Each structure stands twice: as structure tokens, then as C-alpha cells.
Structure 1
Amino acid sequence: MGKMISEIKEQPAALERLLKGERRNIAGIADRIRKLDPAFLSLAARGSSDNAATFGKYLIECENGLTCSLAAPSVHTVYKKKIDMRRGVVIGVSQSGEGDDINETLRLARASGAYTVGITNTPGSAMAAVADDVILLRAGVEKGLAATKTYTCQLMAMMMLSASLAGDRALLAALDGVPDAVNETLAVESRVREITERYRYMERCVIIGRGFNYATVKEAALKLMETSYVVAQPFSTADFMHGPIAMTGAGFPAFVCAPSGRMAAPIRKLCGELRDKQLETVIASSNPATLKLASKAIRMPVDCGELVSPILYIVPFQFFANFLSVARGLDPDNPRFLKKVTKTL
């Protein structure tokens, strides 16, 4: 069994370790943030971690009512600009904890008066040294180059922090059921494997979602670009209708992330429009009416609600990226030109 496929299946256990091992630490960090009464929060990340940060932005603003931005590290590292970070919280997200630009962003934010937190899978990393406090993902060593279990653990860490910050005991209790839900979701493997061969020669596609799952489609696109070299473009459903839909047509592959929740109705409407335009749609959903609109349907076995859905809905796309890479005669564990730890400024 390859590294990527193995680590996809390790996700329930990794999430369980995070829940058990970091609950008290995250509660303490949330308490310090509450006492600070921050004016804003900023998330700094690259790659898959940046996709997790996109989810974090939606989460913090929707659930905690705090203005939350995605940091532009080059403002600090290239343009050398100083920003007043007093009464701010800056969270760096990195599986390795060794990204120079993210760590420099944390260092300068701390020097400018911000409270800083690192979210990383690597104890003893540079990030752990530079941040005021650290949340360890506890995912175990990720040997595959494409992030899988560290990504879902990043999502979980942000949910734990948000729920603790809000004092939302119901959500904190609900998170305990997520590892089992992910374990059930692994059952989509056979269906994803079944449909993959059809897309063996696919050179480009769009992946569409919205809201909390905008992060999901960004991460799904990244996985396809990394492992299968497909030109995969992620869009929110709203942005897609504002121009990019014009580049599609009959037979154009469109992958759609369609969980339950507030975005379900507008996404279902879009799926109907894509069918009418004869696009080739692959839809992941638990809703029978939405699945009927698909060229190829992936029925999600669990509906945990919109907030938790990004952890579940990335799973079929992780499987698809792995199987498509193999079908194309590639190695998903060794993509060309890439390294596990990427350092940029």
C-alpha cells in the first residue's frame, strides 16, 4: 500500500489523538485569547495549510464574530513593512513548522505586539520556538508528500480552538464523533476507484464549492495538481458564475462539493444548470436530489452538518487524486519537482 493511500486511512486515528492530546492545551490558548479581547485575528500559511487557513477564516468570522484575515507573508519578508499588531492574534499554520516566511511573519507579529500561536505537526520545529504557544497536530509522521492527515488535523485544530473560544460545549462534544464519521466516510473508496478510470486522460477541470467548503475545493484542486499534474481550478459557486463558466461546455469535467447546510440549495441549483449545459459533473453529496443531477455521483455516507463537513468531504477527493495518479502511470508519493518541506520567503 502506498504512503498517500495509507495516510488517508490513518485519518480517523490521527484525529482521535489530536482530540485527546490537545483539548486542555487548546482550552488554555482560547482562554488567553479571550482575556486579550483581540481586535482581529490573522492566519499565515502556505500550500495545504493555507487551504486549512481559508476554512479557519470562515470559521472564526462565522462562529466567533472576529474579523479574520489571511496574512500575506511577503509584506513582512520581501517588502519589509512593519504593521501594528497590538491587540491582534496571529496564527501560523504549517505541518513541518519550518516555513521561513510563515515563521518570520510570526516573529515580526510577536515583536509588533500580537499574541502568536503555531499550529504544526512537528514538536521542536522552528515554529514551536518562535510562537507564544503551539498546538501540536499529533498526526504522526506524514511520509507521503501530499498532505492528507495533517490537513484534516489542521481543520480539527481550528474547530477545537473556535469552539473553545466560543465556549460552545455542544460543538466540542460533537467533535468527539468526527473520527468515527471519517472512518465511515472511508467507505467511498470503492466508488471513487470505480469512476476514476473514466478521467484517466483528463487534462483540466474545475472543482466547485462554497462557504466552509471553499477550502475543500481549493485543497482538492491542489491534490490533483500535485499528484496527477491536472490543471484543476477551484472556484466558489458565486465566482464560477461571474465569468469562469464561459470556459466550460459540453463534456467539460466539473467536480462539485455539495454538503447539507445553508449552501445546499444554491449549489443544487448550480448543479442543475451544469447538467443543462451538458457538463460532465462528479458530485459528492449525501442529498439524493442533488446526486440525481450528477453524471457520476459519490454518495457521502455521513451527514455531520455543514460546519464539520470539510473534514469529511475532502476524503473522496484525496482518494480520487491518489487513484488518478496511479491510473496515469504516476507515483502519488513522489510527484516531480516537489519536496515535503518547502521553504520560501
Structure 2
Amino acid sequence: MCGIFAYIGFDAVAHSLTGLKKLEYRGYDSAGIAYLADQLHSKKAVGKIQVLEDQFSTIPMSKCAVAHTRWATHGKVTKENAHPHLDTNQTLALVHNGIIENHHEIKQDLTQIFQSQTDTECVVHLIDTLNEEDLLEAICEAIKQLKGAFAIVLISKDHPETLFAFCHETTLAVGLGKNRVCIASDPHAFDTSIEKVTFLDDGQIAKLSVKELYFYDQNLKEVQKVFKSFDLPTIELSKEGFEHFMLKEIFEQPQSLKYTFSERIDFKNKRVLPFLEHIDLASFDKFLFLGCGSSFFASLVGKYLFQTTGKEVEVELASEFRYQNRELGKKTLTIAISQSGETADLLAACELVKKQQGKILAICNVQGSQLTRKVDEVLLLRCGPEIGVASTKAFLSMLGAILLLSLQLKPDSKLIEELQHLPLLLESILDRQDEIAQLAKQFVQYDRFFYLGRHLTYPMALEGALKLKEIAYVFTEALAAGEMKHGPIALIDDRIPTIAYLCNQHTFLKMRSNLMEIKARGGKILAITEKNIGDLDECIDAIFTLPKCDDRIAIFLATLFSQLFAYSFAKEKHCEIDKPRNLAKSVTVE
């Protein structure tokens, strides 16, 4: 959940700081950089990358630098715990993403005095201890002692203009341009000067300079790597006039959803085009959805949609999948969902599926990510880079991708006709931003909320609750409305409002009964419902009405409401919206 950027070439410090800013979504507790300019220099700062950059009165000239932005796992958020970590003689500087699970045992065997509480510092001291004659051999020996998932890059005073890197169960991308070499946790951090990209495989070691590129396995046997042209959209750090990236990305959704559907739906003939190359959905009898966080909630939508096709469907939290002793049949397709493609728990679950020779379809937004390189088929979201930590357009595109898959299994020309108008419906909700902001202002005094839904709107309740929790720091609990009477209703009083989703015609009456029960106990209620769906006057305090549409369309509109409500609520509270405390965009540790 940290970000690494390293650079060899002219003006390495400036390039590294620029690249690091594009990785700030991976962590922003603290940041640091080490660079070679005759001696090995290092600067660190608590806070965002701009705080680090402000420490330089002028950017120093260097041809070799390594930089890091941190999301704390071991040790508090302090300058001492920020990366890079140096050896005692200050000849090596090392950065790390991941977790060294046996760092305590390694530390006990070392004699150096440690300056930090991190698991990372033990690695640089271990390499220093083993470095008698050949640094590459020392790195190789150190790797054999490490347990966990990690990506590590280091520079050495004795090897100027050279980067050393190795990784295990996480991603490092290597970019090649004219008179420059880069390493990054995410290739989106590369600028347009990088012409070709490759990725380190598990256990591989790299020794890189502008003149020579060497790649090795864990036994220091040289391996050949293929660099490919990589057509990646660069991360745009401009808010383009919006106050926050999150708001910008919310407003991009009508267009980003069009990209998800593009060349996959023939709206003229009302049919889904064959967009999968290696997998025939109809040949599978069972589907297993895996995800974490918002991706898990999207998976729940997948369960409801796929069940209408007559297929057997299961949904599991990727983090819990490993604890289940289950056999996957040959007719089971696993659908793994991740915005970043780097979610550690999901990757671990996919490894278990692969051990059973199971087939995997990934739904992902980042081409070239670990997930996309390890599965049988990829359905790219194509919604563009998402900078705000709280997912918005990626989640909506996940819903779109899942709906596409269900339509491939069970065509529905009427729904496809409605989907063509979905971007316009989304724009109609965006036009009501001020109305939603007023609703947020009406409820901003409360610090606890229930979110309720049934059937397709239950996952919407889960996602809406998560958004408010993430960016406004409000305690929320989302429930399938039928569970309210099984305990949670004991908490209802006039201090805990309920946000209820009544967008399904066939669940409306039961939802209304649930709201009457809440109202009878003094609970405040905000309802998100469809026009003319039914009378709610007796049991609500506020309402937001959606246009009349198919239930499968309504979930997109309800999601958009939830995003704008959470955004407006957090803004009223003056919260840090784009980079909420304790969170990172890409969860690369288990």
C-alpha cells in the first residue's frame, strides 16, 4: 500500500518527485527520497509529498534517485519510520512496499542499531551485513531469508547510476526511455518519455542502468525480459476546475460508463457484442465472484443478476476465501474484481483457484496490473485513472461490466434500449447536486446512520454506507432491511437516521413496512425512491426521487446519489475528501 518510484537519468530527483505524486493514492502518511550526488543524500517528511518537496530550496542535480510514499504498517507515522532507510555507513538506501513477516527474527540476528520501528529497515541492514564483495549476491542471499509479500528497490553509493530491485507477490514495473530507466509500483506513474515497459515476475532481481539491463532469478541465473510498448493513459493530476478529484470523477461517470460499454454493446440492434476472447460464459454451470470492499459489493450485484440466467452463483470475500476447504469444479468460472488489480487478498485467492486449475475472469481498471497478468481473461473497465481514494467511477463501471456479462448470458433487448439512455439519466442526477447537498446539510448533525436495502438495493446500501464512512468518518451500518428486526432495531431512536433505498417495485411494500417500524420508534428517515412507486408520506422525513426506470438501471442512479450525498456530507464537515485518513487506494498488503 506504499508507492515506489526510482529513476536513472538526467534530473532524477525532479522526475522521481513528479512520479511519486502520481502514486500518492497508495499512501500519504509520509514520504522520502534518496539520491546520489557525490554522496548518498536522503530527505524525509511526515505528510504528503508536497511537504517533502518543500524541503528543497532548489531541486538538486542527480542521475540516480529512489523515492517512496508510505502507508504505515509497522511503526507510527514519524520521520524516522519514513522511507528510504539507509545502512549504518550510509552507502545503501532502500525503499519497500509490502510486509516482511519475519522481520522480528531477522532483526534479532543483526548487530546494527536500528533508527526506526519499521519492518523495512532490517532488509537494508541484512543486505549490508551480507555484502562482502558482491552487492548482487548479497541481495540474492537476503531475499532467501525474507518471508512475506514485498517489492524493494535500492541504490548504492558504490554503484552510481544503477538501480537494484526485487519483488515477491507484488508488482514492480520497469520503464525504458531514451537515456533513462524508471521503476514504479504502478506504470501509470511513468511519463510519456517512457516508451516500453516490462514487469518483474515473482522472485526476480533486476540490476538496471541506462547502458545495461540485467534480470535474474533467485539463483542469479540471468533471465530474458521482453519490453513492450504500453499504451497507458497517464495519470492526470489536474482537478480541471473541480474542488476535489472525487467530485471530478463523480461527474465523469456518464462518459466513463460509455467507455465501459463502447464496442461491447450494439445499441442499434439492441444486442451485446462478443467481447470475451478466451472464455465462453455459457460453457460454465457455476460462477464464483471474489472481491474486497466496493468490489465485493459489486460482486453481490453480480449474484443477483446472474441468478436470473439460471446459473448457480456464489459470492465470497476474497480475504475469507483462503479459509474455506472447497473444491472448484471444472465448470466453475471465478470472476475476480479489483479496481487496481493489486489487491493482495484477491491475488492470494486467485492463486488458490489456479492451484485447482480453475479459470478466472478479471474485471479490472488497470491493464498490466498483477491481476490482469495472472488470469485467463480480462474485462477492462476503461473508466480512466481514479485519483480519489474513495471509489466512484470505477465502482459504477464495475456494475456496468457485470451487467454486460449477465446480458451476454441472457439477452434483454428492452434493457439494452434503456442502457443507451443511462448516461443521460446520470446527468439528470448530477444536475441536482445542490438538492443533494441540501439533504446532506439536513443530516450532517448526526454521527451514526443505518443504510437499508433489499435485493439489488442491498449492495447499494452497503456501498453508500462505505462512502460515508470512508470520507466523512461517520459510523454507518448497512443491512438487508429484513434483518432490521433481528437485533439492530434495538438501536433505533431519534439520534440515528436511516437512509433507505426503495428503488425496486417488487420490494417496495416490504421496505415501506420496515420504515414504518423505524418511524414508530422515533427514527429519522431519508428515502431514495422512484417516481410514483408508492406512498411514503407517513414514514419519511426527507426524500430523493429517481426517474422511473428498470431496477437494474436504478442501482446506477442510487449509487450516484450515495456518492454525492457522502461527498457533500464530508465537505460540510471539512474533511479531507480525496485522501481520507488511514486509507489507501490500492490495498497491496494482507
- TM-score w.r.t. the length of structure 2 is 0.55
Equivalence for 1:169: 413
Aligned residue type for 2:288:
S
Give matches, 1:84-103, under 5 Å: 84-103=328-347
Q: Deviations over 1:236-265 (max 9, x none)?
A: 110112221111123431111111421112
Q: Tell whether the 8 Å contact from 1:57 to 1:69 is kept in structure 2 after alignment.
A: yes
The 3-state SS of whatever aligns with 2:578 is coil
Aligned match of 2:374: 130
Match of 1:28 among 259, 270, 276: 276
2:583 is the alignment partner of 1:331: no
The corresponding residue for 1:160 is 404
What is aligned with 1:149? 393
What is the percentage of aligned positions where both structures have the same residue? Answer: 24
Q: How does 1:79-228 map to 2 (within 5 A)?
A: 79=323, 83-228=327-472
Q: 2:286 aligns with which of 22, 26, 40?
A: 40
Matches for 1:243-282 after TM superposition, within 5 Å: 243-282=487-526
User: Quick one: distance in 1 between partners of 2:466 and 2:576?
Assistant: 16
SS of 1:307's equivalent in the other structure is helix
Per the TM alignment, residue 50 of structure 1 is displaced from its structure 2 partner at its CA by 0.8
Equivalent residue number for residue 557 of structure 2: 312
Contact 1:95 1:122 in 2 (8 A): yes
Matches within 5 A, 1:281-320: 281-288=525-532, 289-292=534-537, 293-300=539-546, 302-320=547-565
Secondary structure at the residue paired with 1:205? Answer: strand
Q: Which moved more, 1:268-277 or 1:238-247?
A: 268-277
Task: Give the match for residue 7 of structure 1.
Answer: 249
Alpha-carbon contact 1:261-1:305 (below 8 Å) kept: no
Q: Using CA pairs under 8 Å that are at least 6 residues apart, name the structure with larger relative contact order, 1 or 2.
A: 1
User: How many angstroms does 1:31 deviate by?
Assistant: 6.8
- The CA distance in 2 between the partners of 1:267 and 1:80, in whole Å, is 34
Give yes or no for contact 1:27–1:164 (8 Å, CA) kept in 2.
no
Q: Deviations over 1:154-184 (max 9, x none)?
A: 0011011001111333333332221121111
What residue identity is the alignment partner of 1:180?
L
| SS of alignment partner, residue 452 of structure 2 | strand
Q: Deviations over 1:16-36 (max 9, x none)?
A: 1111144477643697021x2
Cα displacement string for residues 124-159 of structure 1 (whole angstroms, at most 9, x for unaligned residues): 111111111111111111111100000010001101
Classify the secondary structure of the residue corresponding to 2:493: coil
Q: Distance in 2 between matches of 1:217 and 1:175?
A: 22
Secondary structure of 1:117 counterpart: strand
Q: Name whichever structure is richer in strand by fraction.
A: 2
Q: After alignment, is 289-298 or 123-132 more displaced?
A: 289-298
Amino acid at match of 2:259: R
Residue deviations 1:82-128 (CA, integer Å, cap 9, x gap): 63342101000000011122123223323413221000011111111
Q: Is the 8 A contact 1:220 1:318 kept in 2?
A: yes
Q: Partner letter of residue 281 of structure 1?
A: I
Tell me which of 286, 302, 315 is aligned to 1:56. 302
**How big is the shift at 1:72?**
4.2
**Relative to structure 2, which stretch is displaced further, 247-256 or 163-172?**
163-172
SS across alignment from 1:278 = coil
Could you report, residue by residue, the CA deviation over 1:276-326 in whole angstroms, capped at 9, with x for unpaired residues? 3321111111245445232011122x1222122111101111111111111
Aligned length: 340
Matched, 1:343 2:588: yes
Q: Please list the CA deviations of residues 163-219 of structure 1 after superposition, one character each: whole Å capped at 9, or x if unmatched.
A: 111133333333222112111122331111112223223211101111011110000
Q: How far apart are the structure 1 equivalents of 2:363 and 2:339?
A: 8
Partner SS for 2:509: helix
- 1:35-55 Cα offsets, whole Å, 9 max, x none, are x2x231101100111111111
Q: Is the 8 A contact 2:345 2:589 kept in 1?
A: yes
Larger deviation, residues 52-61 vs 262-271: 262-271
CA distance in 2, matches of 1:82, 1:51: 22
Whether contact under 8 Å (2:457, 2:504) holds in the other structure is no
RMSD: 2.1
8 Å CA contact 1:188, 1:299 repeated in 2: no
Larger C-alpha radius of gyration, 1 or 2?
A: 2
Q: TM-score, normalised by structure 1?
A: 0.92
- Contact in 2 for aligned 1:284/1:291 (Cα 8 Å): no
User: Which one of the candidate residues 55, 66, 70 is aligned to 2:315?
Assistant: 70
| Equivalent-residue separation in structure 2 for 1:30 and 1:186 (angstroms) | 38
Shift of 1:5: 1.2
* Contact 1:76–1:82 under 8 Å retained in 2: no
SS class of match (1:263): helix
Kindly state the Cα deviation for residue 275 of structure 1 after the two structures are TM-superposed.
2.6
Contact 1:43 1:91 survives alignment (8 Å): yes
Q: What is the distance in 2 between the residues matched to 1:31 and 1:80? A: 26
Change (3 A) 1:166 1:272: same
SS at match of 2:432: helix
Letter in 1 for 2:492: T
